[in-house]
Chains A and B, each alone.
Chain A
């Protein structure tokens, strides 16, 4: 199957700082990637749809100025958590699908554990 890689896998940052998480499709191109957030013992919640070359689409209740998404190439999307607070601590997961066809499965990254202290 296709490979999606996230970096870093774990990050600890201080309150008020910003942290960038990368999501790369290693062996395919993707015009669309998705960012999810998962709190402990909970399910995944879709945060936003990352569109290559255009603005991201955010789900209701997700602050676009706090969670900056950039999808500058067909293999890379980045999520920047700005002015991080402890409540932003979570497991962030991205997914991507190959360009060909709409009924292709989404491949998930291994996730990034963010801890804000």
Chain B
């Protein structure tokens, strides 16, 4: 059972466009992380959010944790081809290590 549903599953956009990826669950998580994964490689951590309502910014990426700690969003401003990849949210219920991964969003940014 996949506890974290991401939407959209696939997104193909032009360079310069903005986009938002959603990560939703009916369960509460103590923390939520966002990863980006390139083909044939392990996921790389982008951010960890732990407080309901928390917003974190990483250059052109903005992450938000829902007030009830059941959902999160990732917003990318002015997407670039280098942003292309598989974006995964992952929740944990204690510590940051044992993770339940979301269904994934595959992003393609064309020049």
Does A pair with B?
yes
Closest approach, in angstroms, between the C-beta of B50 and any C-beta of chain A? 8
B104:A43 contact, CB within 8 angstroms: yes
Neighbouring B residues of A108 by C-beta, 8 Å? 42-44
Chain A, Cβ-Cβ closest to B35? A108
Number of residues in A with C-beta < 8 Å to the partner? Answer: 26
Q: A residues bordering B, Cβ < 8 Å?
A: 4, 6, 32, 34, 36, 41-46, 49, 91, 93, 95, 97, 102-106, 108-111, 113
B111 adjacent to chain A (CB < 8 Å): no
Is the beta-carbon distance between A109 and B42 smaller than 8 angstroms?
yes
Nearest CB on B from A54, distance (A): 16
Q: Which of A6, A36, A43 contacts B102 (CB 8 A)?
A: A43
Residues B101 and A44 in contact, CB atoms below 8 Å apart? yes
List residues of B whose CB falls within 8 A of some A CB.
2, 31, 33, 40-45, 48, 50, 88, 90, 94-104, 106
Q: How far is the CB of A99 from chain B (nearest CB, A)?
A: 11
Given contacts A43-B103, A43-B104, A44-B88, contact A105 B45 (CB under 8 A): yes
Contact A44 B43 (CB under 8 A): yes
Instruction: Please tell me if the beta carbons of A43 and B96 are within 8 angstroms of each other in the complex.
Output: no
Can you name the residue of chain B whose Cβ is closest to the Cβ of A113?
B40
Known: A43-B2, A45-B101, A103-B95. 8 other contacts (CB 8 A): A44-B88, A46-B99, A103-B31, A105-B97, A106-B99, A109-B42, A110-B42, A111-B41
